[in-house]
Amino acid sequence: MDFIDLPKVELHLHLDCSLSYEVVSRIDPSITLDDYCRDFIAPVQCHSLAEYLVHAEHGIRLMQTISQLEWVTLGLLQQLQAENVRYAEIRFAPLLHTRKGLTPAEVVEAVSRALVQGMAETGVEARLILCTLRHFTEAQSMETAYLTEQFHGDIVVGFDIAGDEAGFPVDNHIAAFRYVTAKGIPSTAHAGEARGPESVREVLAHFHPKRLGHGVRSVEDPGLLDGLKSRNIHLEICPTSNVQTAIYGDVCSHAVNGLYQKGFSLNINTDGRTISNITLTEEYNNLHRCFGWGKEDFLRTNLMALDAAFIPPPLKEKLKAELREAYMAS
């Protein structure tokens, strides 16, 4: 069964981990395909999340000017169009793209402009989530929160924390999450990826996110799972990425099917299309192969994704109607 033509929704997608070779070679023609495969794509299984994240630096290095940011953003929209992603929330950390003199605000403006252009050219609906990172100082985290408030609206729709969950505590970021929450800005947070249930509990207690990036290690604590379900915390599941970061030995061992069968709100994502060397269609194919998921399951998870998306209800309902119609006709 080929799922490429099915409409899809992706909520957990890192801009700096999703550079196509076409875009990379345009920015730096000296990078060969062999270089790209070695540096930009992480091993099939790393020893840790930290090892996986090392490969993101190669993309970040090529995203330091307005033109580079625009090319990367437009290129990602084209990737989404190619496999019929109808709605995506794309995340990035503006403070990582200031090495050549851009201000963080200029970074957000450049990506936002390119996103609007890309939506017009591809027909893909997309929004942005701004990220702080685990290793950032409190001041850097607050700066990212202020940026999110400044640009929050039609394009920038939420706030996130990413990075090395196991290596850095939450302390530097509590104030930033309190700030965006007080401003009515929705948030998601990476947790339950590189650390276990205690990290998820910590994030829920201090950050109060509406969604969790990954969250899969919550299955190690049945009490925590009950809490996630009762609070309707949506899980942004990234199966291939979780195999790469050594949470699971293979996709067929992943907890996603058990969580889905128990009625958790979740959807399927690539995390980083380049760093994980995966498309959303391939993620769907893997779940079909491992768990027998069919189009009814993907429709259900995509509708759950739209329910959890950081967009106004009228747009959610419009997209949900389009998905239902397309799945009925397929």
* Gyration radius of the chain over CA positions: 18
- Asked whether 111 and 128 are in contact (CB, 8 A), the reply is yes
Other beta carbons within 10 angstroms of residue 114's beta carbon come to 21
Decide if 109 is catalytic. Answer: no
The three state secondary structure string of the chain is CCCCCCCEEEEEEEHHHCCCHHHHHHHCCCCCHHHHHHHCCCCCCCCCHHHHHCCHHHHHHCCCCHHHHHHHHHHHHHHHHHCCEEEEEEEECHHHHCCCCCCHHHHHHHHHHHHHHHHHHHCCEEEEEEEEECCCCHHHHHHHHHHHHHHECCCEEEEEEECCCCCCCCHHHHHHHHHHHHCCCCEEEEECCCCCHHHHHHHHHHHCCCEEEECHHHHHCHHHHHHHHHCCCEEEECHHHHHHCCCCCCHHHCCHHHHHHCCCCEEECCECCCCCCCCHHHHHHHHHHHHCCCHHHHHHHHHHHHHHCCCCHHHHHHHHHHHHHHHHHC
Q: Which two tokens stand for residue 127?
A: 């929004």
Q: Which of 193, 236, 282, 283 is catalytic?
A: 193
End-to-end CA distance of the chain: 12
Catalytic amino acids?
Answer: 193
